[in-house]
A and B are shown apart, each in its own frame.
Chain A
């Protein structure tokens, strides 16, 4: 089955700096890669996603890049703000997996003033 690895597990940046979180996946047939943000005790919320036929997608301060050959994708947050502090999960959806998502282990992002 699909295996998703996520790094780093914790990330601390200064307000205004950029943050990058990286994920690798094992199933080359995976075709959909969402990123979720989860604040403490709250539901995961989709912040951006990318499909396998696209290499990059951007939404204001957030961008995701996908390298299918290397089987890795990354989340980029620019001009970080304190409200960006949360746990971020990447996920991959293998083809034929019944639309299941396999999640990474999460990254605790802390944006310091």
Chain B
């Protein structure tokens, strides 16, 4: 139970292109999803909090026009990296928090991550 998927798992793109990453909660509804960025051998850095049906809340220093987040349903959030550049290369991981019931409301369940490489 409490499975979160992410697609794609790996993407290589040219500088200047946009990349969309999908995060889905497969067996539970998630009113809140979180997007993290993780550099090699480093911790998880929260980029933004995504709430279903409302605008995302971005952490300080994260450009909202650069990292577009959409949370259109209780099971899907998307992160679009616009005009990607080599410095955007990283491991992007989403997590989802359940609404109630067996999944609880405290735990964040993580997706498998997306490895983005910008050439």
Chain A residues with CB under 8 Å of chain B are 32, 34, 36, 41-46, 49, 51, 89, 93, 98-106, 108
Residue B106, interface by CB 8 Å: yes
* CB closest residue in chain B, given A51: B106
Q: Is the CB of A44 within 8 A of B46?
A: no
Whether A32 contacts B106 by the Cβ 8 Å rule is: yes
Bound-complex Cα distance A103 to B22 (A): 23
**What is the bound-complex CA distance between A105 and B97, given in angstroms?**
22
Instruction: Select which of A32, A42, A51, A106 is within 8 A of B43 by beta carbon.
Output: A106
How far apart sit A89 and B97, CA to CA, in the bound complex (Å)?
A: 18
B75 at the interface (CB under 8 A from A): no
Give the total of B residues in contact with A, Cβ under 8 Å.
21
- Whether A100 and B34, one on each chain, are in contact in the complex, defined by CB atoms closer than 8 angstroms, is yes
Contacting residues of chain B (60-114) with chain A, CB-CB under 8 angstroms: 93, 97, 105-113
**Are B112 and A42 interface neighbours, CB within 8 A?**
yes
B4 to chain A: which residues have CB within 8 Å?
43
Chain A residues closer than 8 Å to B105, beta-carbon distance: 99
Closest Cβ–Cβ distance, residue A10 to chain B (whole Å): 10
Give the distance in Å from the alpha carbon of A104 to the alpha carbon of B45 in the complex. Answer: 10
Q: A43-B113, A44-B44 are in contact. Are A99 and B32 (CB under 8 A)?
A: yes
Chain B min CB distance to A98 (Å): 6
Additional 12 contacts, C-beta under 8 A, given A100-B49, A103-B44:
A34-B106, A34-B107, A34-B108, A43-B113, A44-B44, A46-B107, A93-B106, A99-B32, A99-B105, A101-B34, A102-B46, A103-B43
